[in-house]
Amino acid sequence: MSVLVGKQAPRFAAKAVIDGNKIVEGFSLQEFLGKKNVVLFFYPADFTFVCPTEIIAFQEKLEEFKKRDTVVVGVSVDSEFSHWKWLQTPRNEGGIKGVTFPLVADPTLTISKNYDVLAGDFDYDEEGSIVFEGNPQAYRGLFLIDKQGVVRHQVVNDMPLGRSVAEVLRVVDALAFFLENGEVCPANWHKGDKGLAPTQEGISSYLAGK
């Protein structure tokens, strides 16, 4: 698994559904450069079981992300038409109606592969034909990309393991705290907690106060 932290996030331009009902061409994270942080998360497939719980959980906290100058973007290997249909389906029928943040279509698997969250890979069979080995879906990868387009945090869960949106917000807060104060965030730091000066005196003072 590639570690993208500290590197520029892989670029892409792809079809996506925005505002819950509009299919657009060439959606790109470049539009947020210099303006917003991006939480880019991958999920295995539309019309599944764990995925809607995560997507709706992100939607429920969308205003909290907006307050932090952060946009949320989802990606799966499904087509834009599948995304659109799922977004029009009521929640009591297995849909995610009411979700407004972008869902990006990755049917060619290119974006998932570039972020190294694809649960399989292409290979050649004995006849020399290209085949896909494994599951042509994305693991539950999540990347926090700062306003300069640099990945500052990443985590990848196996498909059965849903993520914590509260933890994503905590990491967004931690990045903001570091950028604003120059202090680092110790274990279990939450917004409102004290930071830690990145010096021996700083760690000594912090531990003495524990």
Strands of the chain, DSSP E: 14-18, 22-27, 37-42, 70-76, 103-105, 118-124, 130-138, 140-145, 151-157
Contact indicator for 110, 12 with CB cutoff of 8 Å: yes
**Can you tell me whether residue 178 is helix, strand or coil?**
helix
Two structure tokens written together for 126 = 């004995």
Q: What's the CA gap between 129 and 127, in Å, rounded? A: 6
Which residues are identified as catalytic?
Answer: 51
In terms of Cα–Cα distance, which of 16, 27, 36 is closest to 148? 36
Two structure tokens written together for 130 = 């290209």
